[in-house]
């Protein structure tokens, strides 16, 4: 019961998140905070991020299993980090706006998305 209460207060019961992600060299926990800060959840459904139930863009659950981002960008760690920072440069016709995400945040966000609960 105590553990349950702590989960509710901290909303941080994600035991499967690694401290550091090997593929992106990012920190998943910090990535989850950055996702909330940039408001990605307004457009995307993202597992483990409270309030991230958007349907404007595709769900980002299980993102690591996808071969392509936005239908044509190979879903490598570097490709994902680049997309999060510069979607308009990679695909000017995409509806995803540039949100001014810096590289550290993009790396951490990618680390979270590749390890997020489904």
Q: How far is the CB of 22 from ligand HEC (least distance, A)?
A: 19
For CA atoms 71, 69, 75, 55, give the dihedral sign: negative
The answer to the question of residue 43 lying near ligand HEC (CB under 6 A) is yes
Q: How far is the CB of 50 from ligand HEC (least distance, A)?
A: 15
Strand partners, 73: 69
Select the residue interacting with ligand HEC from 5, 56, 100, 118 (CB under 6 A): 56
The CB-of-1 to ligand HEC minimum distance in angstroms stands at: 35
Span near ligand HEC by CB under 6 A; candidates 1-9, 16-24, 55-63? 55-63
Specify whether the CB–CB gap between 51 and 62 falls below 8 A: no
8 A C-beta contact, residue 80 and residue 23: no
DSSP letters, 64-94, are GG-SEETTTEE--HHHHHHHHH-HHHH-TT-
Contact set with ligand HEC (CB under 6 A): 38-40, 42-44, 56-58, 60, 63, 66, 69-71, 80, 83-84, 91, 94-97, 99, 101, 109
């Amino acid at each position: 019961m105590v553990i349950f209460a702590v989960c509710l207060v901290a909303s941080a019961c994600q035991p499967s998140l690694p401290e550091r992600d090997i593929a992106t060299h990012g920190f998943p926990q910090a990535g989850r905070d950055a996702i909330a800060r940039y408001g990605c959840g307004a457009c995307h459904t993202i597992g483990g991020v409270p309030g991230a139930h958007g349907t404007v863009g595709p769900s980002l659950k299980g993102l690591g299993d996808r071969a392509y981002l936005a239908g044509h960008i190979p879903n490598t760690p570097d490709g994902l980090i680049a997309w999060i920072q510069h979607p308009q440069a990679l695909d000017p016709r995409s509806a995803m706006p540039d949100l001014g995400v810096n590289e550290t945040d993009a790396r951490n966000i990618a680390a979270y998305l590749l390890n997020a609960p489904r």
